[in-house]
Amino acid sequence: MKRIQLSHGGGGEEMDALIHDLFYRHFSNDILLRSEDAAALEINGKIAFTTDSYTVTPLFFNGGDIGKIAVAGTLNDLAMMGARPLYLSCAFIIEEGLPYEVLERIVLSMKEELCKCNAHIVCGDTKVVPKGSVDGLFINTSGIGEIVLPALSAHNIQEDDIIIVSRDIGAHGATILASREGIDIESALSSDCATLWPVVEALIAEGIRAHAMRDATRGGMAAVLNEWAAASNICIELEERNVPIRDEVRGICELLGMEPFEFANEGTFILAIHPSDAQRAIEVLHRFEMSANAAIIGSATSYKVGRVILKSVWGSSRYLERPKGELLPRIC
């Protein structure tokens, strides 16, 4: 089996071959192929700029892989700022011995994701590190996008805004947990990993007055809503029964004593929408498969400023706190 060796990162012939046969071949575009020290870009107007590193284990999981996440994650960070994704950089840190075929599968998956919003990888870097230095493969991507809808911000949520979630929560976190060593659970769980720009673009095209959007990645919905409540000085009140959660995800949570609200998502976003546009936003979201079960889950109020309140069906309520520490399963 062909494997990545230290020489593939050594700056010589092998590295050149890897870059041409794999990265240039699949990420091919005029800017990248010029092979300059930096990409020269032409951009008009205000841009959004973001970066993220991806270290997910296992590299492949039901519904995605590290490559898909590395592209979708950065594209989504741009989309959440109302920016049309344009250009990405991509740096690979590869553990010596990684099968070439594995790397190629990941690169192909990145290519597929880029095509979904016509964005391009225009510069990159490759490092190979000795066995044991990283867990298989780490990827960093940075991205820039053209801001189409300005003023989206966690600080911008108004009282009476409607809070919407784009789909059922927690699928990615539950999938990763279930696929890690030690839990043998058979289920139809699949990560929600997806590129959100097409949906965001449609919302913008329909003129939906969105005040904030955020993809609920690490820390899940609980982290996003708490950040919003603090940043915008409002209270967010949620109806627990309206939060869509798959039975598989609930099952994992029940088993391990965890909260779906704290699970990571990779293709799920939360929206704060002007009340008179909320219903229309739902209609737009429902047009897309990735947000077919989008739901109104609550609203911004002035009840307890800075807090998120979860209201049960039977009339009690509690604070939904920001997640803390490592997610560890309960003991008994």
Omega into 275 within 30° of 0, i.e. cis? no
How buried is 11 (Cβ within 10 angstroms: 0-12 exposed, 13-18 middle, 19+ buried)? exposed
Is residue 168 a contact residue for other proteins (CB under 8 A)? yes
Across 173-241, the runs of DSSP E, i.e. the strands, are 210-215, 235-239
Nearer to other proteins, 44 or 316 (CB): 316
Instruction: Give the CA distances from residue 236 to residues 152, 221, 315, 323, in Å, rounded to whole numbers and listed in that order.
Output: 18, 12, 17, 16
What element of type H or E holds 273? strand 269-273
Selected from 232, 246, 264, 281, the binder of other proteins by CB under 8 A is 246
Interface segment toward other proteins; rule CB under 8 A; list 66-74, 101-109, 205-213, 240-248: 240-248
Selected from 183, 205, 292, 305, the binder of other proteins by CB under 8 A is 183
**In the chain, what are the helix, strand and coil shares in percent, each to the nearest 5?**
35, 25, 40
Interface segment toward other proteins; rule CB under 8 A; list 23-31, 115-123, 204-212, 310-318: 310-318
Gap between the terminal Cα atoms of the chain: 45
Is residue 309 a contact residue for other proteins (CB under 8 A)? yes
Q: Which residues contact 110 (CB under 8 A, 6 or more apart)?
A: 26, 27, 67, 68, 70, 71, 90, 121
Interface segment toward other proteins; rule CB under 8 A; list 36-44, 86-94, 273-281, 306-314: 306-314
Is residue 330 a contact residue for other proteins (CB under 8 A)? yes
Nearer to other proteins, 62 or 153 (CB): 62
One-letter identity of residue 273 = I
Nearer to other proteins, 11 or 325 (CB): 325
CA distance 238 to 255: 24
Please state the closest distance from residue 77 (CB atom) to other proteins, in A. 26
The two structure tokens encoding residue 62: 């039901």
Interface segment toward other proteins; rule CB under 8 A; list 45-53, 119-127, 199-207, 237-245: 237-245
Selected from 164, 224, 245, 272, the binder of other proteins by CB under 8 A is 245
Count of positions (residues) in the chain: 332
The residue count for binding other proteins (CB under 8 A) is: 36
Is residue 329 a contact residue for other proteins (CB under 8 A)? yes
CA distance 281 to 213: 12
Nearer to other proteins, 126 or 166 (CB): 166
Please state the closest distance from residue 115 (CB atom) to other proteins, in A. 30
Among positions 260-299, residues that touch other proteins (CB under 8 A) are: 293
CA angle 49, 32, 217 (to 5 degrees): 35
Nearer to other proteins, 7 or 55 (CB): 55
Residues that bind other proteins (CB under 8 A): 168, 181-183, 241, 243-247, 250-251, 254, 256-257, 293, 304, 307, 309, 312-319, 321, 324-326, 328-332
